[in-house]
Amino acid sequence: MKVPGVKLIAQNKKAYHDYHIEETLEAGIALTGTEVKSARDGRVNLRDSYATVTDGELFLVGVHISPYTQGNIFNHDPLRTRKLLVHKREIRRLFGKVKVAGYTLVPTKMNVKHGRAKVEIALAKGKTEYDKRDALAKKEAQRDVERALHSRERE
């Protein structure tokens, strides 16, 4: 679904494979000038990244934003820790769930919404190996059903 004013930059498909996603939250992200330009070019990798709460603030760790090609000495460190902009009450709520219930905070999407960079953070619980296999089997079965339906429609 295409939403006006929103451009999808990156998506973390691996997160949906490795975790049970319970809920999502959209957060702003504090970026430098060259990071914003590089992100708008779609040069972002969310794989193997996570969010953590430190001193009452939410930070994004492990997101790779490639250096801007036209950048000079002011270019940024691609793997630096970036601050997420979220209300204090949301941070406290997420921190409580992470500490007590064993959840983790994983970025699932990054987009530009009306000129502002946004990250979708998911409260997620890790899948076991058999859960992953089961999900792949269901996906394959659904694909087979779709193929069979499309072949019947053509006949």
- Number of domains forming the structure of the chain: 1
Q: What is the pLDDT of residues 136-147, one digit of tens each?
A: 888 888 888 888
The answer to the question of residue 138 being in a domain is: no
pTM, entire model: 0.76
What's 71's domain CATH number? Answer: 2.40.280.10
Concatenated DSSP letters of 67-108: PPTT--TTPPPTT--EEEE--HHHHHHHHHHHHHH--EEEEE
pLDDT tens readout for residues 49-93? 889 888 889 999 998 888 888 877 777 788 889 999 999 998 888
The answer to whether residue 136 is domain-embedded is: no
pLDDT category of residue 14 using cuts at 50, 70 and 90: confident
Average pLDDT, the chain: 85
- pLDDT at residue 155, rounded to an integer: 65
- Domain range holding 44? 6-126
